[in-house]
């Protein structure tokens, strides 16, 4: 673990597909890193401006494992989004972190 890491939840570098859902619209993305508190995702090309406050993120870990988590958009950058998971879904987040153990970070 990096001693300079000051985050409450340590991040894990991963690379997998994700879909961000806003109402009836879906936006394909990829996961760059993940923690029990949130994730950094690639910014979809058609991402709305201004960014929505809340989204549902479906982490597509493999063909049979898709886990949806409610999240708040806390950062919008040129090429990525930062989301913080909404409280009250600890079991889903725990399942997500368990499944993410099998992913390898490839985003270099």
What is the pLDDT at residue 6?
52
Distance in angstroms (rounded) separating the CA atoms of residues 32 and 9 = 15
The HSE-up count of residue 107 (CA atoms within 13 Å, CB side) is: 17
Q: Please check whether residue 3 lies inside any domain of the structure.
A: no
Structure tokens, 93: 């987040």
CATH number at residue 67: 2.40.10.220
Distance in angstroms (rounded) separating the CA atoms of residues 28 and 99 = 20
Q: What domain range includes position 56?
A: 12-100
Q: Please check whether residue 20 lies inside any domain of the structure.
A: yes
Q: Please check whether residue 61 lies inside any domain of the structure.
A: yes
The HSE-up count of residue 59 (CA atoms within 13 Å, CB side) is: 28
Tell me which residue has tokens 């994700």: 18
- Residue closest to 71 by CA, chosen among 106, 105, 31: 31
Q: Give the chain's domain count.
A: 1
Q: Please check whether residue 2 lies inside any domain of the structure.
A: no
Question: pLDDT per position in the chain (108 positions), as tens?
Answer: 444 445 565 667 778 999 999 999 999 999 999 999 999 999 999 999 888 999 999 999 988 999 999 999 999 999 999 999 999 999 999 999 998 887 665 444
């Amino acid at each position: 673990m990096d001693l300079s890491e000051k985050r409450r939840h340590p991040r894990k570098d991963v690379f997998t597909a994700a879909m961000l859902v806003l109402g009836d619209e879906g936006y394909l993305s990829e996961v760059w890193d993940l923690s029990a508190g949130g994730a950094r995702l690639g910014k979809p090309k058609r991402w709305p401006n201004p960014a929505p406050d809340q989204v549902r993120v479906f982490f597509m870990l493999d063909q049979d494992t898709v886990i949806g988590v409610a999240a708040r958009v806390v950062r919008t950058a040129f090429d990525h989004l930062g989301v913080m998971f909404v409280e009250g879904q600890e079991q889903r987040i725990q399942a997500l972190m368990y499944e993410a153990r099998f992913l390898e970070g490839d985003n270099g």
